[in-house]
Amino acid sequence: MTLLERRRRTEQKSQWKTLYNLSPEQRAEIRLRQRGVCPGCGKSLDEVKETIDHVHDNTKRVRGILCNHCNLVIGHAYENPEVLRSLAFYLEVMGHV
């Protein structure tokens, strides 16, 4: 890991504490509970950019840790499970291109 990568990781950990009140121990517990993978795509969290998934309200309650891509998918779907189910159905019916 380069010096720049270590610095970014330290800044990220600081942001997690500031934004979500998430300690390194709590983060480790979430990773363990998720078996070290993104619950969306199944990729190892060691191989992707981790993003804290949280409820977008005043509580900012942490739901888990996702890869950045899966976190963006949830955001673009307005955190609405019906939108995600409809899109999954669409892909299944229309087939993969």
For the cut 90, the answer to whether the pLDDT of residue 81 exceeds it is yes
Neighbouring CB atoms inside 10 A of 5's CB total 9
| Per-residue pLDDT reduced to its tens digit, 26-35 | 999 999 999 9
Rounded to 10 degrees, the C-alpha dihedral 64/51/56/11 comes to 120
Q: Please tell me the pTM assigned to this model.
A: 0.81
- Sequence-distant (6+) residues with CB within 8 A of 79 are 55, 56
Pairing of strands 50-54, 62-67: antiparallel
DSSP lists the bridge partners of residue 54 as 62
Q: Which fold has domain 3-69?
A: His-Me finger endonuclease fold (3.40.1800)
Q: Any idea where the domains of the chain sit in the sequence?
A: 3-69
